Structure 1
């Protein structure tokens, strides 16, 4: 991925020193990344970077005796995820053009959409580990962003190439998140064809984990009609793509919840089980396909059935009509 975030540590610390000279040990060591070390009378900074196809990763460790302002330059718009690991207060990222400031508190994370421009990283005196990666917003496509409501405004801004920065709510960074970040960066492999797949899987897992944390902190008390709607929409979307081959277990993987939990939320809103909802949506999908395609055999196979006989029996059992009878009745009406 093209490097887009430049952290101008040299304007604060002067020229970089050899990483081997560092007395500042990275809180989260990175494998196979590029490292730069800076120091002066005011403090030290250790920057680790890794360039992946889908994401660019930065880990910045800083110790500062006094307040410090580090210039940042963004060359292209991306979605950024920042984690602040440590106990020494909060940091701020200031958009110089909008005169807007985004705060990231200790042991918290936040997504920020940053268009091209000049920014400033404000650090109070103390020790900080700032884990940042920015990634292509195009990983959200074909409606797969629906469960991540907290990201919708940022994704919309990215897609429209908005000139205005924006941020999500923040969320807690605990031991599970830190363990995942450590696993992520310790297993990076430059020049390995499987590395980009690994980065995508880890990025996907971190986004899902942040969704879970945001839900637990901000939304759990709702109960939640919107969550049930998300489950319905995702089930409908998958049935339209996979037909009867769709399995409920895929929802559990997608939402990171147990089938018991998803079923309870779904039943509360729709007054039916997940299996009943699946069957109802599948029948609706089949009916639509029959009306769009006169070939019953083509509809059967496109809807994931391995035989026309199985397809016809299923449809008649659920509707009381064979597929041909359903199509014939529709033609008589119109």
Structure 2
């Protein structure tokens, strides 16, 4: 995607080849720029992907500053404030748009074409964002994102007024996923765009579980749907404690409610989802090592142990079974699209 913004720093800022401070979250293969002034330092990392433009700004501010930012095309943004001792404020005087970037919070924004001002208070700040392809929210996928529809419409219509969503929490699960994405970006490999899109979709999915939509989903429905998404993205690396952390509930509470409603534990449900996921992957791979890696296992031995414990079969026999009888279609559907 094309970069749809730019900014002009005051003359006191000089572009330098090496940053003064070490970046807190280095992004592999990102384009970097660094500026210093007598009082402040700014570092930029960007990566231009087909489905999303990633940007990262880290500020070390000793003297409060205001930076003019020019939006050249109305676009949809997903932003995260990873660190900020005081809120960063972005505002547009003409349409009275104000956005405060507060540490530990994220939001979706539609930024209309025009000139904005970003006010940087004293302190150390980290702001990460993506310019998104609004086509990601086409029907039927958009049914889980009603809180974004006004922004998607604004993007499609190129509205002259900026707008924003409600904010959501940015916790350790989100931070780990961002760091994982930063470490995996590699434009020199064939599936880089697929990898970037996969991580971006997962981050978008995570955000919706942190925003209440009029109680449409009960706790266990939320937990099961989130677990399905996490299995597809992380496989065996999924931790039930992460599901609990996203939903702000204890793991024991979720397990208790799940057992009450379904008569088996949430951990058993996790294992069944993982087994179904393995079944959908293993037939297409010649080597078990490839399946183990794709499904999030640290080794073939770990994959072997899991399949043996769940089915009593070796991975090879399990693979032959899937080739002969095929997977249960209902299991495939559950994995590919969580129930509404």
Give the alignment's TM-score, normalised by structure 2: 0.63
Per the alignment, residue 206 of structure 1 pairs with 203
Are positions 1:135 and 2:129 aligned together? no
Q: Is the 8 A contact 1:50 1:57 kept in 2?
A: yes
| Offset at residue 253 of structure 1 (A) | 3.4
Q: Paired residue for 2:21, among 11, 20, 24?
A: 24
- The verdict on how the C-alpha distance between 1:130 and 1:66 changes in structure 2, with shifts beyond 3 A counting, is same
**For 1:54-133, what aligned pairs fall within 5 Å after superposition?**
54-133=51-130
Q: Distance in 1 between matches of 2:84 and 2:111?
A: 26
| Offset at residue 161 of structure 1 (A) | 2.0
| Offset at residue 12 of structure 1 (A) | 6.0
Say which is worse superposed, 48-57 or 158-167, in terms of deviation.
Answer: 158-167
Q: Distance in 2 between matches of 1:189 and 1:183?
A: 12
Number of residue pairs matched? Answer: 235
Q: Distance in 2 between matches of 1:158 and 1:37?
A: 31
Per the alignment, residue 171 of structure 2 pairs with 174
Q: Paired residue for 1:253, among 202, 217, 228?
A: 228
Highest Rg: 1 or 2?
A: 1
Per the alignment, residue 38 of structure 1 pairs with 35
| Offset at residue 47 of structure 1 (A) | 0.6
Per the alignment, residue 274 of structure 2 pairs with none
Q: Paired residue for 1:227, among 212, 217, 222?
A: 217
Per the alignment, residue 185 of structure 1 pairs with 182
Per the alignment, residue 278 of structure 2 pairs with none
Q: Is the 8 A contact 2:65 2:120 kept in 1?
A: yes
Task: List runs of 5+ in structure 2 lacking aligned partners.
Answer: 232-242, 244-253, 262-340
Q: Distance in 1 between matches of 2:198 and 2:58?
A: 25
**Structure 1 runs (4+) greater than 3 angstroms displaced:** 249-258
Q: Distance in 2 between matches of 1:59 and 1:96?
A: 25
Which string of whole-angstrom CA distances, capped at 9 and with x for unpartnered residues, describes residues 54-80 of structure 1?
111111110111221111111112111
Q: Is the 8 A contact 2:61 2:123 kept in 1?
A: yes
Give the alignment's TM-score, normalised by structure 1: 0.64
| Offset at residue 250 of structure 1 (A) | 8.6
| Offset at residue 31 of structure 1 (A) | 0.5
Q: Distance in 2 between matches of 1:66 and 1:163?
A: 33
Q: Distance in 2 between matches of 1:251 and 1:181?
A: 18
Please give the secondary structure, in 2, of the residue aligned with 1:145: helix
Please give the secondary structure, in 1, of the residue aligned with 2:174: helix
| Offset at residue 188 of structure 1 (A) | 0.7
Per the alignment, residue 279 of structure 2 pairs with none
Per the alignment, residue 14 of structure 2 pairs with 15
